[in-house]
Amino acid sequence: MNITHTRVITFSPTHTSLRVATAVARAWQDLPNDILDLTCRQLKSPIRLANDCLAIVSVPVYAGRVAPLALTRLKNVLGDATPAILIATYGNRDYEDALVELRDVLTTQGFLPLAAGAFIGEHSYSRPGMPIAEGRPDAEDCAKAEAFGREARRKGESVGTLTPFFIKGNVPYRTVGTPTPQAPVWQEDDCTGCGTCINSCPTMSIRMTDDGEVLTEPSTCIKCCACVKSCPTGALTFDTPYTAMLHAKCSARREPELFL
């Protein structure tokens, strides 16, 4: 393969998927590179990546599948036998069928998988007192992501044609139930009206009234908790019984799983 540049393509509300992808991309730091962040952006028309571009596609896992909005945002990103590294980040529970789903979607859109990896990121529901993979990806994770990138580069430079390889997961994919609408709760006394929450929301589910009241819309909220984690004063909280359950059952450290 003749790679002349790289492009990180990500949907990353709390920046964990982006951090892993940029760590992987350091293996090609001698080449031009850029980032297409689809977190708060819907492409108005398709873009197509040539086969001399390496796509590093990184998305979060929701209930063992690729986050639905990430798939929607990726629909207008097309390849032309374009090599791709596939990355799924999950909150220390399991990634189940997310990587094979990402593989199938991107293959249909013209990409050729070069390597794939599942990495751990702090769970959206993690909070003080009940942490779930708090602070991840950490320095160790990022070092492993860089090493993974170097292995993927060596593979790409040693093969002429990319062929299918094993990625853990199942087809048909895991069935996911209909989510219950819920949104973070605003704490007026803690809010400074800075608007950080509004700018961080991928679905524009937060708005501020003329009176300074912050309103959150459960019907469009995807429970990524980007607003909660980005608020500088802790004025937004997301309360769910899953936090305690995940804290109790998913506290043991898990490590990245890599496929080449």
Domain ranges of the chain: 5-172+253-259, 185-239
Q: In sequence order, what are the beta bridge partners of 9?
A: 36, 57
Given a cut of 90, whether residue 120 has pLDDT beyond it is yes
Residue-level pLDDT at 30: 98
Residue 160 pLDDT grade (very low, low, confident, very high; cuts 50, 70, 90): confident
Contacts made by residues 154-163, CB under 8 angstroms, sequence distance 24+: 155/114, 155/115, 155/260, 156/1, 156/3, 156/54, 156/83, 156/114, 157/1, 159/1, 160/1, 162/1, 162/83, 162/112, 162/113, 162/114
Residue 7 pLDDT grade (very low, low, confident, very high; cuts 50, 70, 90): very high
Q: In sequence order, what are the beta bridge partners of 112?
A: 83
- 3.40.50.2020, 3.50.50.60, 2.60.40.10, 3.30.70.20: which CATH number matches 185-239? 3.30.70.20
Residue 212 pLDDT grade (very low, low, confident, very high; cuts 50, 70, 90): very high
Average pLDDT, the chain: 97
Residue-level pLDDT at 205: 97
**What tens digit of pLDDT does each residue of 56-97 get?**
999 999 999 999 999 999 999 999 999 999 999 999 999 999
Residue 1 pLDDT grade (very low, low, confident, very high; cuts 50, 70, 90): confident
- The CATH number given to 5-172+253-259 is 3.40.50.360
Residue-level pLDDT at 88: 98
Q: Percent of the chain at pLDDT above 70?
A: 100
SS3 annotation, the chain: CCCCEEEEEECCCCCHHHHHHHHHHHHHCCCCEEEEECCCCCCCCCEEECCCEEEEEEEEEECCEECHHHHHHHCCEEECCEEEEEEEEECCCCCCCHHHHHHHHHHHCCEEEEEEEEEECCCCCCECCECCCCCCCCHHHHHHHHHHHHHHHHHHHHCCCCCCCCCCCCCCCCCCCCCCCCCCEECHHHCCCCCHHHHHCCCCCEEECCCCCEEECCCCCCCCCHHHHHCCCCCEECCCHHHHHHHHHCCCCCCCEEEC
C-alpha distances (whole Å) from 215 to each of 24, 99, 190, 209, 221 are: 38, 35, 15, 8, 12
Verdict on whether the full-model pTM lies above 0.95: yes
C-alpha torsion sign, points 139, 145, 148, 153: negative
d(CA 72, CA 21): 19
Residue-level pLDDT at 57: 99
